[in-house]
Amino acid sequence: MTHDAPPARPRVLGAVVDDETRCVHYRTDVDIVAIRFACCGEYYPCHLCHEEAAGHPARQWPIAERDAHAILCGACGAELPIASYLGVDACPECGAAFNPRCRLHAHLYFETEG
């Protein structure tokens, strides 16, 4: 009988402090999301981590690309589509709670209408 290893999680860059993607800027129990930035395709825990480490300006995900898998749940490792993430307060795969205050920063990562 063979046991397949679980798929490797994408790497998360920046000032990460634990294996659930918390960083030095945001590290409460519910800060378990990393975002794959549209500009470089790399995951960072937050906009401040990207600003400090990426070496280039951040670019928002266009509204037309809401189906892109650009959200990493730090609890289970699921990569979620942007549209799914924007509509929930918890991971649809494992049920882990996400920080509802992240909505305050959504415009830094995703184009918004209006």
The Cβ-side half-sphere exposure at 102, using a 13 Å CA radius, reads 27
Type of residue numbered 84: S
Residue 27's pLDDT is what?
A: 94
What are the extents of the domains in the chain? 33-109
Tens of pLDDT, residue by residue over 54-74, are 999 999 999 999 999 999 999
Tokens of 62: 């266009």
pTM beyond cutoff 0.85: yes
